[in-house]
Every structure is written in C-alpha cells, then in structure tokens.
C-alpha cells in the first residue's frame, strides 16, 4: 500500500481530518523577458512536447489555455506519477491543480513578474492530506519531495530561458 501511495497510484481521499500546509514560496530571478519565460513554461504543454521532456511530461488532453498532463518524477529510485490540470494566463500566471497523486489536494501557481534584471518567477501553493496526524506526517514527507521537484523544474526553466534570451540577443531578433 505504501508503495502505491508513494508512486501516486493510490490516493487516500476520505475528506476527514483534512490538513492543509503551504508549499513554497520559492522565488527565482531569471535574466530573460517575462514573455520568453512564460513560453518556456507553457510551450511543452500547449505545443508539441519536446523529446527531451517526454520522460517527465505527457499531455493527456490539450485545450486552448488548459491541459490535463501526467508528470513523472523520480524519487528514491521510483517514479511517482501525478496527473494535473494546468491552466495558463499569459504572460503572468500558470495554475496547477492535482487530479491524481500521492495526496488528495494540491493547488499551485507560478506567478511571473517583470523585474529590473528580467523576470521574477514565484512558486506557491498548498498541499492537503486526510486523517489528522497520520496525514500531517505523510504530507510533510510528500511536501519535501514535491518542493524538491519544483526547485529542479524552476532551475531547468531558468537555464532554458536564459539560454534562449542570450541566443535571441545575439541574433538581434
């Protein structure tokens, strides 16, 4: 049972003893324009997913400004699968809502703001678990891994946006 929970294949969603805890905030400064950063985040969802991301992301259903996507995250030698709706409000907000995963409730957002050096990207959200103290314990474990995965994703966004920004700057486009 624990293996199924950890992999996101089983969710305890009883609606009793629900505890909410914050995720983040995590803020990253990116030396690239906000529209470019937003594109780095949204393109794999709204356009064709690049081969380099196919091990981490599979878009199950694609709409104009919202997708249903499976995310695959390696944690402790196992793959955890989450399914989330992802909604886009260019060029400032990306909303995530968990549909299936190791906990019954997660809502998150990426907020992008113009800054003197480019873009400030702020991640925040909340994670909820059921069953009082047992849920709080499980939520703490999941939140630690969840935020580590988000930090890794934000670092990848930063690197790619800054790489593209330098390339665009050199080509004069």
Residue 47 lies in a domain: yes
User: Residue 154 belongs to what domain range?
Assistant: 2-168
Residue 63 lies in a domain: yes
Residue 173 lies in a domain: no
- In Å, what is the CA distance from 68 to each residue of 22, 35, 50, 51? 23, 22, 17, 18
Count of domains observed in the chain? 1
Residue 78 lies in a domain: yes
Could you list the pLDDT tens digit for every one of the 173 residues in the chain?
A: 767 877 788 888 999 999 999 999 999 999 999 999 999 999 999 999 999 899 999 999 999 999 999 999 988 788 999 999 999 999 999 999 999 999 999 999 999 999 999 999 999 999 999 999 999 999 999 999 999 999 999 999 999 999 999 977 655 55
How far is the C-alpha of 173 from the C-alpha of 169, rounded, in Å?
A: 7
Residue 158 lies in a domain: yes
For residue 129, the domain's CATH number is 3.30.530.20
């Amino acid at each position: 049972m624990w293996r199924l929970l950890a992999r996101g294949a089983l969710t305890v969603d009883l609606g009793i003893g629900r505890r909410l805890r914050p995720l983040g905030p995590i803020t990253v400064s990116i030396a690239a324009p906000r529209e470019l950063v937003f594109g780095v985040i949204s393109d794999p969802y709204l356009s064709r997913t690049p081969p380099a991301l196919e091990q981490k992301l599979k878009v199950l259903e694609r709409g104009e400004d919202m997708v249903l996507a499976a995310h695959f995250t390696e944690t402790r030698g196992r793959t955890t699968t989450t399914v989330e709706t992802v909604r886009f409000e260019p060029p400032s907000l990306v909303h995530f809502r968990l549909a299936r995963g190791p906990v019954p409730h997660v809502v998150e957002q990426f907020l992008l703001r113009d800054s003197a050096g480019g873009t400030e990207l702020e991640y925040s959200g909340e994670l909820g678990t059921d069953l009082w103290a047992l849920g709080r314990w499980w939520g703490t474990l999941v939140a630690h891994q969840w935020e580590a995965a988000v930090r890794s994703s934000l670092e990848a966004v930063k690197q790619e946006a800054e790489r593209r920004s330098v390339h665009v700057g050199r080509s004069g486009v």
